[in-house]
Chain A
Amino acid sequence: MRIEVLPIILGALPVSAWSADYLTAHEAETLMFPQAQEFAPVNLRFDNAQMQEIAKRAGISARSAQWGVSVARKDNVPLGYVVVDNVIGKFELITYAVGVGTDGAIRQIEILSYRESHGGEVRLPAWRKQFAGKTVAGPLRIGEDIANISGATLSCTHITDGVRRIVAVLQVARDSGVLP
């Protein structure tokens, strides 16, 4: 075991802002449907009755009348769907992707990015300094530039709710024939 204690930076503050990018939406869909030859974007629009049907199936509100879906296809046969969504928790914004097969079963959930802040603490300079000057050339990623966090992060309730909503969105879209 090799664990070192780093010197405390005077003025450094408890963890307050943190951010990590994991995969792009395209990387995620390729991992979920490696056999797919193409991913075709489809924009779904639901009317009020459909929104109610989604809410009924998901047990939570449909939230939006418009949803973007990426349809994975091989030889023009649909393999499944990928939906990218955001959920906002108490302190965090999570972007995630859900892959669902044409049988309606969830294939995979991947977190694309995770950002969190604890409000006012973000303004304190010592922690923020870690983020200063991070541009495209110096991407903001844990492990390289930004410390990893020990200490529990979010509860996943928001993601679980979001996934249930997406499964209902896809079901209603397929029932109405908008999705293959």
Chain B
Amino acid sequence: MAMKISDEKFFERVDKGVNNTFMRNAVVSAQERMQGKRLAAAEELGNWEEWRKLGEEIRTHTLQNLDYYLEQLSENVKKRGGHVFFASTKEEANEYITKVAKEKQAKKVVKSKSMVTEEIHLNSALEKAGCEVIETDLGEYILQLDDHDPPSHIVVPALHKNKEQIRDTFKEKRGYDKSEIPEELALFAREQLRQEFLSADLGITGCNFAVAESGSISLVTNEGNAGLVTALPKTQITVMGMERIVPTWEELDILVSLLCRSSVGQKLTSYITGLTGPKDEDDVDGPEEFHLVIVDNGRSNILGTEFQSALHCIRCAACVNVCPVYRHIGGHSYGSIYAGPIGAVLTPLLGGYEDYKELPYASSLCAACTDACPVKIPLHELLIKHRRKIVEDEKKSPFGEKLAMKGYQLAASSPSIYKAGTKSASSVMAPFTQSNSIQKGPGPMKPWTDVRDFPAPNKERFRDWYKKREKGGE
């Protein structure tokens, strides 16, 4: 699965999202619960703003000196006997990883959850090379079994599915014969996947944060699958986006603390695993061979631009969990594995405006995302910067907006046209109006009214009302 998850147009995707009642209810309840947990976890510290400030300082410094810290990281991995591959493109990354898989004659690959491997389309590259690839995060496993349904949330990928659907998928694909009780479903997945862990040739992980000073990588999970992926197979490959790095273990503490509290409201998740190189010579478990693949894939083009702070993201999804637009349209509408406010900022940067020019408009600019971000990325400001670029530099503003602006330009340039327009607005819109709101608007209004009502133009113009009022009327 690449970053792009749909060939449908933005509004077609939104239509599907808005009409999926289960998904919408699931998202609403997920947002409320996760937001509540995050706020409680932040409040409990008493000085959350200080933590955010420190997080921002660390991310800013690290990105400003990224070349230095990546060099230090790679030197230290090398000293511990690990291999490092710097991949400028997704093709280079996939080529290297499949080459290692072939050298190791790997047939079975187990993976722990990783957004960057989805972004580079790694699974299909490995499958083409003849490997069986098994996702082991419970949510990802469900999606993979269900014919590779795309994830709809960074932290809870199968959020859009209900337990009955999951039961049916297990039944159809794996002969499951028990109920839809979540514990039973999870136990079944545990048993199915345990055998896969024990017989896999290759383990692949993402990386929450690498630690430059020691050449370590860290993995943050609740299920314990990352521990199994890295303890049992003989070869481990870790794929990291090049910005996912901290200088020392001291900063790892801060960013892991911010991540756990902001994503799931936990002080720490059940498993935080710090791994350094392959296993030591006399160790029994752990990989004999370790490869770290550091991926650029468009990230360096963001460095040195007004969008650099987007690379500070630690993938906690706090912004997703507070976003009123995400709440209504759901993750799949973004057409990218990166959904929500950060997705609307990052996806056009990595995938280009041609495919993703609508995303910066999928925001009400309410700034809840900016307030929620644990490393203080000014998300709503970055969305405005995108809009400015789309309109001014790329001349790609959405058609409806262009038409409206053209119309306004014409109308505002002539007092008589403007007057005629405002006078006729109410009657022109009358066929679309029901009890003072427009629910199915024509033309450029359609995308708006498909998802919410638009207030109908008042029968009385403001100017007329004002004149009357001056004369002593109501």
Q: Do A and B bind each other?
A: no
